[in-house]
Amino acid sequence: MAKLVINETKKLGKINAELYGHFSEHLGRCIYEGIYVGENSEIPNKNGMRTDVVEALKEMKIPVLRWPGGCFADEYHWKDGIGPKESRKKMINTNWGGVLEDNSFGTHEFMELCEQLGCKTYINGNVGSGTVQEMSEWFEYMTFDGVSPMADLRRENGREKPWKVDYFGVGNENWGCGGNMTPQYYGNLYRRYQTFLRDYSGKGETGKICCGANAADYHWTKEVLETAFDHTPPHLHGYMDGLSLHYYTVPGSDWDHKGSATEFTTGEWYKTLAKAEKMEELIKKHGDIMDCYDPEKKVGMMIDEWGCWFDVEPGTNPGFLYQQNTMRDALVACLSLNIFNKHCDRVKMANIAQLVNVLQSVILTEGAKMVLTPTYYVFHMFRGHQESELLDSTLTTEMVGEGEDKVPHISESVSMDAEGNILITLGNLSSEEADTVTVQFMDKKISQIKARILTGAMTAHNTFDEPDCVKEEDFTGYRITEEGDLTVELPACSVVQIEIRA
């Protein structure tokens, strides 16, 4: 039996909505077919954006979307994606699948998508193969409301008023596909490029994000920060508002043998979850380095690529990274989001990879058909944490797993919204063993409760023929004891959301 003690009087910090962010790259069928089908498609759409996908994402309460990459960002030249579609440049997507990229989805289309979704915008600029001038002009094109060549060009292309760019990433994975740079070299490039992202509105509306490390590359974090903070006025905190971190959960022996998304053993279940739990260690160790330069935590840790990465589905283009999504993915999402919540003092944004049809996506499409994945339902169940206050909570639970791959039986986080309502999210990480969780509060008397559950066999997933094999449902497996505690019976392989009304 596990025990969760909640101090509802002790708030530990705000959980930014952006912790529940997403990522859309020009990769496989994420943008084209998945999100954008064009204005003339027989698939219902608004200005080319799939109506069914947009409505599902709005229901999930998507807070921020990152675009255009990923590795694609550092070979993307934004002027190829503006103006009349018939005259836009065509290119080969050399990173992903060697297929034709016709640039019919560009800056205007992305901003249209975000306006339909009602979410914040996160754009990645091209450092790897682009110039300072190119990045500066793109930012001017998007955000300047005065008279200038780029602002005039935007107006010629049909947009009178500028857009708001909430976040701008200066490059992507510049330690790898973004240029194979050293941290010192990139650090200096970051200082230079960000200088020319002018604050045209005078409101400081755009958060600048510096390219951070891959997984446990603590050397990169230290050297980039050392370079960015060198002779920099303290109030500018290294000229950055965020430092990215990328970490993928890959259960296989190496990147060439990552393992199947749907056919796996109990041992592989626990290996996957144990690797996902490494996120906790990464946040702490990278956070310790950040504390040396930024003790007041002015710079957010932006985990803008995370999630499961398996072998592609048999018969699909290897460059499209299309994979199915099971209850294993759901528990990885639950564990990861609970970890992000617990570290909301430093982690300010996270973007699962990727939105539709790529890696651990929340939606799959096939022609006019759409399927919500188990991961979608986890995001839907957790959406109440957005902009709420993290509450102090302590969990006592045993470890489960096989061999060296052990994880806590239960994962949890707790928050309180502005009206005083409390949201508890629990995950039973065991593939076979149910567990009972006793929940105790300091003073709160429990009255109104609503609960939802997502559960199934560990390999259970939704298909286009059977789209509702795994779905969120009402949950009644709880009771209030005579002592006033809450007892929750958690089935194996389950995610549970409990709302306690004020």
Residues 288 and 61: their CA atoms lie apart, in Å, by 32
Strand bridging mode 21-23 / 347-353: parallel
Q: Which of 18, 112, 137, 173 is catalytic?
A: 173
Sign of the alpha-carbon dihedral angle for 191, 195, 196, 198: positive
Q: Does residue 387 carry a catalytic annotation?
A: no
Q: E strands of 181-299, at which residues?
A: 207-214, 242-249
Q: Which of 25, 75, 277, 305 is catalytic?
A: 305
Helix %, strand %, coil % for the chain, to 5? 30, 30, 40
CB atoms within 10 A of CB 241: 21
158, two tokens: 């049909």
- 500: exposed, middle or buried (Cβ count in 10 Å: 0-12, 13-18, 19+): buried
CB atoms within 10 A of CB 92: 10
Q: Which is nearest to 177 in space by CA: 19, 255, 17, 69? A: 69
Burial code of 271-287, b = ≥16 C-beta within 10 A, e = fewer?
bbbbbbbebbebbeebb
Check if the beta carbon of residue 6 is closer than 8 Å to that of residue 442.
yes
Check if the beta carbon of residue 306 is closer than 8 Å to that of residue 316.
no
Q: Does residue 466 carry a catalytic annotation?
A: no
Query: Annotated catalytic sites, by residue?
Result: 173, 305
